[in-house]
Structure 1
């Protein structure tokens, strides 16, 4: 016959243990590292920025049409919001029908 004993550890005890372990590891690292390495922390290089090619006029027109469809799907909560959505839809319709499109960026 086996007897099992379950012990519950408390978060407070775990936090103390983790803090002690981290402090001991930091102290050990500081002792083993040369002084020049401690003085200058290494900064990671920023990732290069992605430059995307500009959208063609047809692609822009498709984006504006998609925006119009999304506006049509939205459900206004009150009259003021409905008027705002209607104005935005009218503006999008004007942009779509125009000969030249404004740039997106």
Structure 2
């Protein structure tokens, strides 16, 4: 049995023909790109049309013939009054924690790679402000 399985695996595999290699190298990627493009188009088109179709269906359901209304009293609706949500007053952040936070922000600003001169200037200004806040004797209340 071992000899028969080795003879099956020892067959040389035929190289793909020129037509197959052309198909796989040039036509197949183009078909895949076209397929994805059509899929995205259909997906976006159907997602945009759904609200419009609902409006059209609702308009079709409304009767177009005038309806006679005879002494119909409509109860007066009261408008619900919204109550203000109470604002939670948090305890002030200790000064030492504020300094640690400013130091952490400064470290993160140092890691940023600016893309142009204006962005670099803005980051440098922010870093200088953070350095001033860290060195100050008292920090502003946040």
Equivalent pairs, count: 83
The aligned counterpart of 2:75 is 35
Listed as ranges, the matches of 1:14-33 within 5 Å are 14-18=54-58, 20=61
Name the larger-Rg structure: 2
**Residues 102 and 130, structure 2, Cα contact 8 Å, conserved in 1:** yes
Listed as ranges, the matches of 1:6-21 within 5 Å are 11=50, 14-18=54-58, 20=61
The aligned counterpart of 2:91 is 53
Question: Gaps spanning 5+ residues in structure 1: where?
Answer: 1-9, 22-30
Q: Structure 1 residue 93 and structure 2 residue 131: aligned?
A: yes
TM-score normalised over the length of structure 2: 0.46
User: Stretches of 4+ moved more than 6 A in 1?
Assistant: none
How far is the alpha carbon of 1:80 from its aligned partner?
2.5
Change in CA separation of 1:41 and 1:86 when aligned onto 2, cut-off 3 Å: same
Work out the CA distance in 1 between the residues paired with 2:129 and 2:54.
59
How far is the alpha carbon of 1:90 from its aligned partner?
2.0
